Amino acid sequence: MNPDSPQLITYVDRLGGTVTGIRDLLATRLSGAFGGVHLLPYFTPFDGADAGFDPVDHASIDPRLGTWDDVRALSETHTVMSDLIVNHVSADSAAFADVRRRGDASPFAPMFLTLGSVFPGGVTEADLTRIYRPRPGLPFTAMVLGDRLRLVWTTFTSEQIDIDLRTDAAWEYLTEVIDALVAGGTSMLRLDAVGYTGKEAGTSCFMTAATELYTQRILQLAHDRGAQVLLEIHGHHTQQIAIAQTVDYVYDFALPPLVLHALHARDARPLERWLEIRPANSITVLDTHDGIGIIDVGVSDLAPGEPGLLEPEQIDALVEAIHDASGGTSRQATGAAASNLDLYQVNCTFYDALGRDDRRYALARLLQIMTPGIPQVYYVGLLAGENDMELLKATGVGRDVNRHHYTPDEIDAALARSVVGLQLDALRLRATHPAFTGAFSHDLRGTHGELRWDAADASVTLGFDLGDASFQLTATDGSATSTWSHARLVED
């Protein structure tokens, strides 16, 4: 496979059921399409308050999903990416439970952040309003620690307790987790929520100078153990460009809204500008387990004076276009309409965000696959999944509309669809065709565009028209040429 071959993003329980089930799918129905897999949190427990991002034991695999031997077996055939949850631990973890019982007498007390530990001299309104948080309100929860009522720092939810990376205890914990993940077969670490780790008085407490120091320390720990690091940061596009120079990989979170804008507004100019300046060491996505990011293409208080990739009115139009395309279901799952809300995301499957239009959806995926970087494809997106309104109703969590639990029969039915088959064939091409080891070029004018890869006597070219979502992909290797287009898609 090519060095930058595609990777699958999936929850273990919601697609294959177990780690072994994921391995079997990759070896059979999905064979040749993926060189790697990002296993979303499979730690103990995988089904906590935040779908595994609040593990009680981050260094163990939930036995309902498998064993470390199963993960190591998967790593023999595929690159395995796992989450290193840097910012917080579960409120039910053994360490924090001890702090709740014993307060400052607990040896783990220094590991956890409180309002007072960041602002020992007291806090002002200006200090509090300066703190950046992805959700409404202040990032504190009142809790009794020992015999004292404290304001504990909880950036995301009251079940996720922020840790203090200024302390030895925090680094002993993170090192233990890294050791467990790498020993278990992980060779790529995704740093979850690392941007929130650098809490410092007088700052926004997001992407501070301390954050960079912590990131570099984790990077060194990973490299010492033979692993690479991917940063998960939502923010202004100039931040991504700058951060990319200091780590192994960053997400291209600007790509999804720019592709949606291109397909809804029939306007490729913002996408073309981004292709000129985006970092090369990117992981590309259209959809993930979270919502569709908007902040990544807009203006930001953290980058004053810097325009976004889209104008504010273009972003407003895009959000409304997504809500209209989804028949209003995304509106029910986004913002104040649902709990666990994020201010900078629209909760919707990418398929519904394009009105379940197979041609536009297939073109969106081809645009991603042709863009330089490592393409990651979310399991719901791979199967062209629709918003799961029943799951949203059951949980009240907006992001659950894009976290469907697939049965074996549902997987079979999805794989029989032409839009899914086209995606898989395109992913297999991306994984193996020699042109993708060469040079990338692009030419976007009006509604028409062309993306191209060339290496020696091999080439892959995608020509398309945003007006009617027509496209043609031509792949040449020596004297062999294959061509396929939107005509492959049939009504399912």
DSSP string over 149-195 = EEEEE-SS-TTEEEB-TTSHHHHHHHHHHHHHHHHTT--EEEEETGG
CA dihedral sign, ordered 426, 432, 435, 441: positive
129-148 pLDDT, tens per residue?
999 887 778 999 999 999 99
Would you state the pLDDT for residue 479? 86
Quickly state the pLDDT bin for 492 (edges 50, 70, 90): low
Q: Once rounded to an integer, what is the mean pLDDT over residues 34-57?
A: 95
Residue among 157, 171, 186, 163 nearest 40 (CA): 186
Assign 339 a pLDDT band (cuts: 50, 70, 90).
very low
Q: How confident is the model at residue 295 (pLDDT cuts 50, 70, 90)?
A: confident
- Across 261-265, 334-338, 479-483, least confident range: 334-338
448-455 and 458-465 strand pairing: antiparallel
451 within 8 A of 442, measured Cβ to Cβ: yes
Q: Is 192 labeled as catalytic in the residue annotation?
A: yes
User: How far is the C-alpha of 15 from the C-alpha of 292, rounded, in Å?
Assistant: 21
Q: Is the pLDDT of residue 73 over 80?
A: yes
Tell me what pLDDT residue 304 has.
76
pLDDT digits (tens, 9 = 90+) for 437-461: 999 999 998 899 999 999 999 999 9
Q: What is the pLDDT of residues 207-240, one digit of tens each?
A: 999 999 999 999 999 999 999 999 998 888 998 9
Please determine, for residue 337, whether its predicted confidence score (pLDDT) is greater than 70: no
57 assigned to active site: no
The pLDDT of residue 133 is 83
CB 36 within 8 A of CB 188: yes
pLDDT at 315 over 90: yes
Q: Residue 340: which pLDDT band, with cuts at 50, 70 and 90?
A: very low
Structure confidence at residue 336 (pLDDT): 62
Mean pLDDT throughout 324-336?
A: 90
Distance between CA atoms of residues 168 and 171, nearest Å: 5
Model pLDDT, residue 343:
56
pLDDT score of 342? 53
Percentage of residues in the chain having pLDDT higher than 70:
98
Among candidate residues 446, 481, 445, 483, the one with its CA nearest the CA of residue 462: 483
By three-state DSSP, how is residue 363 classified?
helix
**What percentage of the chain has pLDDT greater than the value 90?**
89
- Mean pLDDT in residue range 198-214: 94
Report the greatest alpha carbon distance in the chain.
78
Q: For residue 335, name the pLDDT band (cuts at 50, 70, 90).
A: confident
What does the mean pLDDT of the chain come to? 94
Over range 426-434, report the average pLDDT. Answer: 98
- Helix pair 358-370, 418-432: axis angle to 10 deg: 10
Mean pLDDT for the stretch of residues 67-71: 98
Cα–Cα distance, 8 to 409 (Å, whole number): 20
pLDDT tens, residue by residue, 232-246: 988 889 989 999 999
Please state the rounded mean pLDDT for residues 462-489: 95
Torsion of CA 205, 208, 209, 214, to 10 degrees: 80
Question: What contacts 381, CB < 8 A, 6 or more positions away?
Answer: 286, 287, 349, 350, 351, 365
- What local confidence, expressed as pLDDT, does residue 49 receive? 85
pLDDT tens-digit readout, 356-408:
999 999 999 999 999 999 999 999 999 999 999 999 999 999 999 999 999 99
Q: Is the pLDDT of residue 263 over 50?
A: yes
Tell whether pTM > 0.85: yes
Select which of 4, 162, 232, 386 is catalytic: 232
Tokens at residue 173, please? 């914990």
